[in-house]
Amino acid sequence: MGPKIFALIVILVFFAVMIGIGFYYNKKGEADSNSDDYILAGRKAPLLIVAGSLFATWVSSATVMGYAGSGYTVGLGAYWSGASFIAATMWMGIWIIPRLRKAGITTVPELFEHYFGPAHRLVALLLSLGRDLGVIASISIALAQIFQSLFGISQIMALCITVGVVLVFTASGGMWAVLVTDTIQSVMIIAGSVVLIPLGIWKAGGFAAFCAQVPATHINPVSAGFSQTLGWLLMGCFISFAYQTVLQRGLAAKDDETAKKCFLYGGGMAMLWYITPFMVGMVARVVYPNINASDAYLTMCNILGPYAGAFFVVCLMASCMSTISSCILTTTANITLDVYKRFINPKASDKQIVTLQRVCLLVIVVVCAWVGKMLPYILELFWIGGRIMASGLAPVFVAIVLWPKARRAPKATLLAMIGGAAFNIAAQVYQSSAFAAMGGQNDVVTLFSLDPVLAGLPACFVILILGVLLETRNQTRETLLQYKVD
C-alpha cells in the first residue's frame, strides 16, 4: 500500500466520522427545533465540548502553516502575533461573556439593535461579515490546496470534496455537530503538531546540538522589536474582542460558570499549544535551512517519511475544517437573523429560519469558495476584514457591554464605528499604494510601516470617549425614562 492510498484511507475514515456526527445530531433532533438550538446548541453545551471547540476555532491552516513560517523567519518572538488573540479570549471569558449571556442575544449586531436601532445593527453586521467571509474564503482555498497536493487532482475538484464534507456535517447537525467535531479535531491538531518538535530536534542531532545551531535572534522573545510586538498585541486583542465565532462559544455553554471556565481552560490550553507552530518553524530553520518559510510546516510533516507525513497532513486538514465550520455557522446566523428575520420576514417561524439557515450555509460556502478561487490576494483579504473589524467594531462593542453610558449615546457609537473603520481603510489604501509604488509585491500580503490598526483604533477611541461624554452630559433620569423599554 503506497502512501497516497494510506492517506486516502485515513481521510475517508476522518470524513466518515465527521459526516456521521452531523447526521447523528440531525437524527437526534438537537438541531431541528429552533434557531437557538441550531446556532447555539440550545445554550446547553458542556464544559469539555465548548473548551475543545474554542481551542479548535483558534487553530486553522493559517495559524499552523502561517505561524510555522513566522517561526522559521522571526523565531519564537513571533509568538506575540498569535498568543495575543488567546490572552484576549481568556479575558473575555471573565468579563464580556457573562454580561452577554444576560443580554440573551445570538449575534453581535443584535446587541446593537437591542440598545439603538437598525442603522447600528447594519453597520455592525457589515463590519462583522468582512472578517468572517474573508476567513471562510481563504481557509477553504488552503484546505483545497492541501487535498490537491496530496492526490494531484484539480483545485476545483478538491474544493468540492473538502468543502462539501464541511457543509454536510455543519448543515445536518448545526452547532452541536460543530462543537463535537471541533473537539475531535483539536485532539488531532495537538497530536499532529507537538510531536514534530522532538522529532526535529532529534534529527538536528539532539537538544544540545540543536541549541548550538539555532540563531540567537530566533530565541529572543522580542526579536521583532518593541513597535511591531506592541502592534501584534493590540491587533490580536481587538480582533478577538468582537470575534463573533468565539463569542458564540460562550453563549452556547450551559450556564455562566461553565462559559467562564470554558474560556479560561480552552484559552489556557490554546495558549500552551500556540507556541508549537513557532517552534516547528524554528526547528525547521535548523533542520532544513534552505526552504521557503511558507513550506516549513509541510516539510516538517515529512520528517518521518511519507506515511507519517500523510497523517500529519490530515491533522492539518482537521484544523482547516474546524475553523470553516465555525465561521459559516456564524455568518449564517448573521444573514438569517440580522437580515432576513429582522428586515425581510419578521414573522418567519423557527422551522422556516432553520431551513433557511441550511440553504444559507450552502450559498455562503459556494460564494466564498468562488471568491477565494477568483482572487489571488486572498491572504491579504483575510487580514483586511480583521483589521477593519478590530478598529471599528471591537472598541464600540466592548464599550456597550462594559460602559452603561455608551448604551445611551447612539450618535457617538455609530460615528465611532464608521470613523474607526474609515481611518483603518484609509491607512490600508494609502500604505498599500505607497508599498506598490516602491515596487512591493502587494498581491499576496502588504507590509505596513505602521499597522493600520494603530491608525484606526485611536480614531475610534477618541470619537467614542469624547462623543459619549458630550452626548450624555445633559441626560437626567427624566430624559432617560422617555426612552425606557421593558
Partner 1 sequence: MKFKYVENDPMDKVPAPVGKMIATMIGCVGYMVVYLFIWCAIYGWRP
Measure the CA–CA gap between 411 and 183, rounded to whole angstroms: 42
Measure the CA–CA gap between 425 and 419, rounded to whole angstroms: 10
Asked if 58 contacts 282 with a C-beta cutoff of 8 angstroms, the reply is no
How far from 8 is each of 315, 319, 339, 354, CA to CA, in Å? 13, 18, 41, 34
Backbone dihedral angles phi then psi of residue 107, each to the nearest 5 degrees = -125, 160
CA-angle at 64, arms to 373 and 150, nearest 5°: 55
Q: CB of 131: closest distance to partner 1 in angstroms?
A: 22
Measure the CA–CA gap between 421 and 267, rounded to whole angstroms: 28
Residue type, 167: L
Toward partner 1, which CB reaches closer, 14 or 232?
232
Measure the CA–CA gap between 431 and 442, rounded to whole angstroms: 10
Q: CB of 193: closest distance to partner 1 in angstroms?
A: 15
Grid cell 429552533 in the structure block, residue:
34
Q: CB of 212: closest distance to partner 1 in angstroms?
A: 9
Q: How many residues does the chain have?
A: 486
C-alpha cell at 395: 472598541
Query: DSSP of 146-162, one letter per residue?
Result: HHHHHH---HHHHHHHH
Toward partner 1, which CB reaches closer, 83 or 166?
83
Toward partner 1, which CB reaches closer, 28 or 102?
102
* Torsion from C-alpha of 224, 298, 147, 9, nearest 10 degrees: -140
Q: CB of 290: closest distance to partner 1 in angstroms?
A: 22
Residue 442 half-sphere exposure toward CB, CA atoms < 13 A: 19
Measure the CA–CA gap between 105 and 91, rounded to whole angstroms: 20
Toward partner 1, which CB reaches closer, 90 or 133?
90
Grid cell 459556494 in the structure block, residue:
366
Q: CB of 268: closest distance to partner 1 in angstroms?
A: 8
Toward partner 1, which CB reaches closer, 86 or 239?
86
Toward partner 1, which CB reaches closer, 42 or 71?
71
Q: CB of 206: closest distance to partner 1 in angstroms?
A: 13
Q: CB of 120: closest distance to partner 1 in angstroms?
A: 9
Q: CB of 330: closest distance to partner 1 in angstroms?
A: 21
SS3 45: strand
Toward partner 1, which CB reaches closer, 21 or 90?
90
Q: CB of 254: closest distance to partner 1 in angstroms?
A: 17
SS3 377: coil
C-alpha cell at 219: 530565541
Toward partner 1, which CB reaches closer, 384 or 396?
396
Residue 340 DSSP label: I
Toward partner 1, which CB reaches closer, 449 or 482?
482
How far from 198 is each of 156, 159, 205, 284, 440, CA to CA, in Å? 37, 33, 11, 12, 38
Q: CB of 12: closest distance to partner 1 in angstroms?
A: 37
Secondary structure of 240-277 in the HEC alphabet? HHCCHHHHHHHHHECCHHHHHHHHHHHHHHHHHHCHHH
C-alpha cell at 18: 465527521
Q: CB of 455: closest distance to partner 1 in angstroms?
A: 23
Q: CB of 397: closest distance to partner 1 in angstroms?
A: 12
Closest CA to 277 of 193, 220, 203: 193
Toward partner 1, which CB reaches closer, 194 or 426?
194
Calculate the CA 164 to chain-centre distance.
Answer: 20
Toward partner 1, which CB reaches closer, 438 or 485?
485
Residue type, 216: A
Grid cell 484576549 in the structure block, residue:
88
Cβ burial, residue 29 (10 Å; 0-12/13-18/19+): exposed
Toward partner 1, which CB reaches closer, 10 or 264?
264
Toward partner 1, which CB reaches closer, 402 or 447?
402
Residues that bind partner 1 (CB under 8 A): 76, 79-80, 83-84, 86-88, 90-91, 94-95, 98-100, 102-104, 114-117, 119, 211, 214, 216, 219-221, 233, 267-268, 271-272, 275, 279, 401-402, 404, 407-411, 414, 480-485
Q: CB of 345: closest distance to partner 1 in angstroms?
A: 23
